[in-house]
Amino acid sequence: MDAGHGGRDPGTSHYGLREKDLVLDLAKRVASELGARGMSAVLTRDRDEFLPLSRRPAIANRLPADLFVSVHVNANRNRHVSGIEVYYPRESQVTDATALPPSVRPSEVALPTTTVKRVLWDVVLSQTRSQSVRLASVICRTMREQLGTRCRGIRGARFVVLREAQMPAVLVEVGYVSNHRESQQLAEPAYRQRAAQAIADGIASYLRDVGAQDI
Ligand SMILES: [Zn+2]
């Protein structure tokens, strides 16, 4: 479980709510809900500290974790925008400055051209992308059903935290703090608990579907 932002990076702030605080609380709740369902969850941060983006998937890769789930809340200049979104890793966008995938040692690549790096990234991502899409859609469904909130859909994104995870990875935007109604909901511990339950149920349902409930 990855709580977005932290420390000197507060994330978005609206109506007196700071993203880094909300998502830490949500991630802790999801972790304990997963524990109650017999799964073990490791938090990338368990307090208000700054973590560089690459460190987050690196923690999951080192374990190695079966899944990587990052929790965020959203904001939009248009205060009417509301709802849940779940992101999965999209095709890599490799440039000259892009590093090799973490699973590839530089000594293994004779000539790390942009094309070679793109091919390597696509291989790494394609191994898990379809599972990520499936996990994203299950979480979208359980959150919509259990919270009675609109799930705006699942989307591909090139976020570093998703791209560098070597396992199925999703990023959940639990709602818009820039929307008055959703900021009020997110301010409520009872709502955050229900959201955490819905995410944990989605993860459990996904693992049941792939027949991996014993991992
Ligand atoms: Zn965020």
Output the pLDDT for position 37. Answer: 96
pLDDT digits (tens, 9 = 90+) for 28-78: 999 999 999 999 999 999 999 999 999 999 999 999 999 999 999 999 999
pLDDT given at position 84: 97
Residue 213 has what pLDDT?
Answer: 46
According to the model, what pLDDT value does residue 202 have? 98
- Which string of DSSP letters, residue by residue, matches the chain? -EE--BTTB---EETTEEHHHHHHHHHHHHHHHHHHTT-----S-SSS----TTHHHHHHHHTT-S-EEEEEEE--SSTT---EEEEEEPPP---TTPPPPTTS-GGG-S---HHHHHHHHHHHHHHHHHHHHHHHHHHHHHHHHHH---EEEEEEE--HHHHT-SS-EEEEEEEETTSHHHHHHHH-HHHHHHHHHHHHHHHHHHHHHTT-TT-
Q: How far is the CA of 11 from the centre of ligand 1 (A)?
A: 5
> Ligand 1 centre and the CA of 141: distance in Å?
21
Query: Cα of 91 to ligand 1 centre, how many Å?
Result: 21
pTM of the model: 0.90
CA of 75 to the centre of ligand 1 (A): 9
* Domains of the chain (ranges, CATH numbers): 2-93+129-209 (3.40.630.40)
How many Å lie between the centroid of ligand 1 and the Cα of residue 10? Answer: 9
For ligand 1, the distance from its centroid to the CA atom of residue 113, given in whole angstroms, is 32
Spans in the chain with pLDDT lower than 70: 212-215
* Separation of CA 108 and ligand 1 centre (Å): 35
Centre of ligand 1 to C-alpha 20, Å, is 8
CA of 109 to the centre of ligand 1 (A): 34
**Ligand 1 geometric centre to CA of 64 (Å):** 24
